[in-house]
Structure 1
């Protein structure tokens, strides 16, 4: 892999980053820390100082003031000579002239460009959904993607008399939000189209555990239900399913998936394949344009296949990889995906990808602490650990180092979960 920045003097080079969430912000600061001398411009359409997104459905929603948690204090951008431009929407990329165009018509030139535009919530075309408003015409259907979303949702909850919430979609965002609503005293219904929650991303074992957890906390969890319409009365909205069942709501949270923000990549005629296609240093099909985060598709060397990941970890890892390559032409280190989810008093930590497993070993230390180990024959693919950091750490070591795990010892609770017993070297 060859770095191409033999351009003007390093002080004259400019990098423009579109998107100031986890990926964009980490890229900008890492690039400066790695010794980049030229100008760095960081743009985002969100007017809020860049903030942590994972807490939105958890701590942010549950807090009294619904304040965001900044990724960096404002002074840090000035101190690092990073030009932070908020509330600015980019409408086009011209790879021939190496310029971007803002909605206001202004053009900005670049030597290197980073697209970190992520995803947006998918709002399904359900009849009556966009008509879900209060008596003043304010929308009462929401997604959970931005700080503004969290503020609007908390406002709707505080204003509602019965605090009846319907969540359409039983994915992680929906489930995390459900646990927050329960903590805030709401009556929560979760409606999932599939036969079980999280069916596309985890096993029946974990799905069943989380199903029983939410039911035990008071969530009305409805699966195999297809929402077809939202009906409205003067005081209530009703979520109607194809089987005729109806669920009352003061407001509705939609969490059925995302759409990739790849419009700018399309205008620049970059290669796409289930996301913006990038190589191992996050270069797109144009050598001076890079892309990082949720909107990208990359070849994972650990799993030997193309994947697209929606995770903070992936965005941050790609940001560091791209920045180090641009600044120093360094070679990337293969990254192992990891994720987490907080629901009630349970922390779920996931390392690796479970797709392709043909065996699960369950190790249950107690009903509140257990781990699932996913294998394809003798190859460990993934570990899901509930309140069990040790299992998560050992699983990470085993997958990264391609170490064979002794399944017999793993399933034997009489043997401590420790590296010297578990991992066959």
Structure 2
């Protein structure tokens, strides 16, 4: 079933009312409640099992219902603007009993978003996802401000800081060299030496180091970048990068580089943190704000990363979603191929085993016959999981992008 379908599977009882999506069709007393006194929060549904709501309340945050939802006892449930009730309508139902009502305010949704239920049913960790149209509104969001352990996903902050320095002329991609450990990891706050690097060290120019950091995600190159911008002291480099995050990009205090990579990971106190909203903001600012990163440096920023020209597995996964969505309205094959040819993205993922997994990036599709583009930023994470049977990173990322693809295809 399509993830954005606003169709509700209703139990076959005579007393069941159909859910009315348009507020003017709701009972008058409910429609007039569009700007009421605030009701108590509905809270969260049970971790497993059906959710019965028997007292009037407001959804104060996006909610993913694990099973069936029933509104009863003359209760009015309000979904305020910017909030969502996500029910798996392929397998579950939302039931509104006589005398009760569901009020969906402008900007709110009661719908089915497949990825949310994929996370809910396949991990016991905290999870979240985020999709935003560039220069537009948030399209999908769950736990967008939760500070999760990002593993290598946060390396894009180091990449942005470095490329801003390239743009300013203080370093060059081919002329600035870094000492990179190759025999072991130097977890001290001192500059790399052969001894601290476990007996072996190599020299990489900045372009090689950034490429190794952003594609194969080499931790030693990443640590050398911290050292470079700290003048030999990695912690000073991290502080400068955190200033870029807050003062230049406008990221929140919930996002911070706190330690080297492959040096304790989440056992550090404090450890590295990132939020989905901050990740989205970084990509949006880097890709659209010339004060943050102008051309042609922006193009080089993307070229160094995993992108649509070198990440074939993600290209394949996204193209499969494009095919599925295009088939729903019989989009001409030539146009489908043109959209695929014009698709662009750049992203950085990270993980510590299967307990901490995340991905974030930028995505663009052609519209208006290729004369324009519609751009998006995206991110998702799993944090602290002991159970993780989720599909691949590519499957998660492409499914998150389905909403963007569905919006953009008819605009081509």
Q: Per residue, is there more strand in 1 or in 2? A: 1
TM range (shorter): under 0.3
Q: Per residue, is there more helix in 1 or in 2? A: 2
TM-score of the superposed pair, with normalisation by structure 2:
0.23
Greater relative contact order structure (CA < 8 Å, 6+ sep): 2
TM-score of the superposed pair, with normalisation by structure 1:
0.23
